[in-house]
A and B are shown apart, each in its own frame.
Chain A
Amino acid sequence: MMSIVLAAASTAASAVAGAGGVIHAAAGTVPAAAAAVHATASAAAASTQSVAAQMAALTAQAEAQYKALQAANAAAHPILYWMKMTPVGAWVRNSEWAFPFLQSWHFIGMTMLLGVVGAIDLRVLGVARAIPLAPLHRFLPLAFIGFGINLITGICFFCHDPWVYAFNTSFRIKMLLILLAGLNALWFRLGVFLDLDRWGPGIEASRLAKVISAVSILIWLGVITAGRYIAFT
């Protein structure tokens, strides 16, 4: 930008110098001097036009480079490009209130998921031991509904600009942690689910269950942390 301004200044200066030469040569005749002033004005106008033309050319060049980059990105990652071009992606990009609307649902879903999973994990770890575990575990469908809400709203966020998320370290860590949380929940289902009926009011859960629950709480807190850091990565 600076170089364009400098180039414009030097062009204008040489135009004025040229016109000064004309004035000097035509000294003595008033009409000739008037013609020379006219020439100066046209030279300045011409130089302004050339600067504008230069800037237009540079802008066009930058636009072409940007389009080429976009095309290269689209060619390299056709799935990401397809997601970006979906109506959902366009809606989230163009609507002013799509983000807070979707985030409201994302947070409500998170609360449902973590409320249920957290309550079960805390009970297994011995908080509110008076609660029998088997009936508490029946809240689990609510956690799946919360997960479903967050999967849908999460896909909406992703589609708004897939490149923002796909190469974001925090986002990748978050996805990995959610996968680990799922495997951990599967471990709970296969490892201790049959024991839940035995853990009635006041009865302590097994050491294995406590380990799984402690890991579960840590992973989900990690998911929240990684999720919040997407915006800062």
Chain B
Amino acid sequence: MDHLLLQLQNSPFAFWLSQGAFPPIITVHSMGMAILVGLQGIINLRVLGIGRGGLPIPAMRRFMKVVWLGFWMNLVSGVLLFSIYPDKYVHNTLFRFKLSFIVAGLVIGALLNTSLLSVGDEYAVEGPKASSPARAKALAVLSLACWISAIVAGRYLAYSTFADIGAGAG
């Protein structure tokens, strides 16, 4: 495994990436993050009751396709970033935390989206019914927690050094 990663890190492709492709790729990664977490966050907040007056939940769900656009941007850019310095990430606990938060965030997002399918148009109007089911609210809180944690883990990951990781490969 480590041998393969070392080969990847020493490949001409990784060299090309590290030479000048890093800034544009990290930029795309930030844009994808803003799109994914920003729009998922708006959906979550609506489910939690912020701005609920007259804002139909079924209509808010239409933003999910843009959320997925952000996800694919970040999956592709993330794989490219990983291939530049695999040994910075592969043994890094923060990286594992970040990936765990992302996977959890995706699963919870999908569950939330499914549970909102049963939410009819009556939730669009003001009044007691405008508030979403308790299950959806719990999922929305968890989703926010996962994505914020993923961002924080990612930021601390950028500042973790090779020495902290203990791998010493390469």
Contacts and interface: CB of A to CB of B under 8 A. Distances in A.
Interface stretch (A12-20, A31-39, A184-192, A222-230): A222-230
B60 A128 contact: yes
Nearest to B63: A128
* A interface: dominant SS: helix
A135 interface: yes
Contacts of A134: 54
Contacts of B155: 100, 103-104, 107
B42 A116 contact: yes
B51 A139 contact: yes
A104 B23 contact: no
B34 A111 contact: yes
Contact of A107 (B33, B53, B62): B33
Interface residues of B, number: 35
Contacts of B158: 100, 103
B26 A132 contact: no
B38 A115 contact: yes
B55 interface: yes
A221 to B, nearest CB: 6
B38 A114 contact: yes
Interface string A118-130: 1100100001101
Interface string B24-42: 0011001101110111011
B57 to A, nearest CB: 10
A102 to B, nearest CB: 9
Contact of B34 (A115, A138, A142, A229): A115
A177 interface: no
A104 B156 CA distance: 8
Contacts of B148: 108
Report, as a range, how many residues of chain A touch the other chain.
35 or more
B23 A131 contact: no
B133 interface: no
A130 B51 contact: no
Interface in A1-16: none
B110 interface: no
Contacts of B56: 130-132, 201
A8 to B, nearest CB: 35
Contacts of B30: 107, 110, 224, 227-228
A192 to B, nearest CB: 19
A139 B63 contact: no
A122 B69 CA distance: 13
Nearest to B151: A107
A111 B38 contact: yes
Interface in B63-102: 63, 66
Interface in A202-230: 221, 224-225, 227-229
7 contacts: A104-B155, A107-B151, A108-B148, A108-B151, A132-B59, A134-B54, A139-B51
Given A108-B152, A224-B30, 13 more contacts: A100-B159, A103-B155, A114-B35, A114-B38, A115-B37, A115-B39, A118-B38, A130-B62, A131-B60, A135-B53, A221-B31, A228-B27, A232-B23
